[in-house]
Amino acid sequence: MRFLGVFRKAMWEQRRDLLILSLTLLLGPCFVLLYALFFPTGSTTYGVLIWNQDTAGDGNALIERLRQVAYSDGQPLLVVNQVNSRAEAENPLRDRDAEVLLVIPPDFSQTLQAARAGQQAAAGTPVMFVGDLTNPYYAVAAIMANAALDQYIQETTGQARPVEIVEDALGASAARSEFETYVPGLLVLAVILLIYQSSMTITREIETGTLRRLQTTGMTALDFLGGTTAALTLTALLAVALTFLTALALGFRSQGPLWLAFLIAALTGVSIIGTGLIVACFARSGMQASIIANFPLALFMFFSGAAFPLPRVPLFSLGGRVIGLYDILPPTHAVAALNKVFTLGAELNDILYELIALVLLSALYFALGVWLFSRRHLRAA
């Protein structure tokens, strides 16, 4: 009964502080809106500029082939525009209004005609790719344009590859927009932001003396922490629901079961609440808790892949699976699991490793928070 009393009290306290509650619930949807502005909500396209110096026909045919490059659902992948010189293309490339310039040489058709006739022609002027190699989109655009060029040359000269190359995309990854690739991480981020709410809620109970008064009623650590955790977990699930609905409204499509996504969010929430308990152990006021919480927030946000993808830093192998440096952070496994569910349509069996890792790490973080909090604040006065 004391557990339910603490739960009701924690829910009521959150309603009383509507500003903090609103920020916790709305920051996730706000991040989704920002990412929707940063990245297109439709299929991601890449700008290709063409300087066609070949007037004999093959240059124009190649341009038409490039315009046909599309996703599996028929949406265009390359946006092709012609320019009259390299100088005309340099400003769009520098401003990143386009990703790559393809220069078709004057003897392009002549070289292909010689190949069709089976003649050994002299080496012609090379086709040139020009671009800013620091632009992350350059590599994708150049690879796609080069693949179309290679396919056109193979078909028009009749020189087939000795080995056929076929691409087989996993799940719905073939037609995923860049915005959609970030949504799983943003849902985890909505849970990570709960660290402010959890640390400040618990610190406030200490700061106002409410915790000491509750202890006089015979309340146990399980009553207090269990009731508070249940209330905060509901807040986390509500934040995830609002974030997910915002993403749906902006064009996000899920391939897997939604109940799995909410299970992942709930487990992640337990680890974040445990971290909030640890923060509360070292804070003397709500203001101090909000400042200290910034450190684990940044750690979870930037090193778990929630804000943007990170390369793996392998440490060792265990049971045939590579364990990375960031795998000690529960949100890392949550992001991986949600990516599998939303993009690849994964079921429960497909994410067992991530779920087990998430359960173990969440239990560890929460147990550490409970232990520290009990020693510092729940001993008999």
CB 52 within 8 A of CB 63: yes
Mean pLDDT value of segment 277-292 = 85
pLDDT exceeds 60 at position 10: yes
pLDDT exceeds 60 at position 1: no
What is the percent of the chain with per-residue pLDDT over 70, rounded to a whole number?
84
Q: How confident is the model at residue 314 (pLDDT cuts 50, 70, 90)?
A: confident
pLDDT, greater one: 358 or 8? 358
CA distances 186 to 163, 172, 179, 270, 373, Å, are 41, 19, 10, 18, 29
294, 296, 297, 301: CA torsion to nearest 10? 140
pLDDT, greater one: 328 or 251? 328
DSSP 189-209: HHHHTHHHHHHHHHHHHHHTT
Q: Which two tokens stand for residue 346?
A: 């994964």
Q: Residue 380 has what pLDDT?
A: 46
pLDDT exceeds 90 at position 229: no
pTM value surpassing 0.85: no
Q: How confident is the model at residue 119 (pLDDT cuts 50, 70, 90)?
A: low
- Each residue's pLDDT tens digit, 42-79: 667 889 999 999 877 888 888 899 998 887 667 788 99
pLDDT, greater one: 243 or 117? 243
DSSP state of 123: P
* 18, burial (CB in 10 Å: exposed 0-12, middle 13-18, buried 19+): exposed
At residue 168, the 3 state secondary structure works out as coil
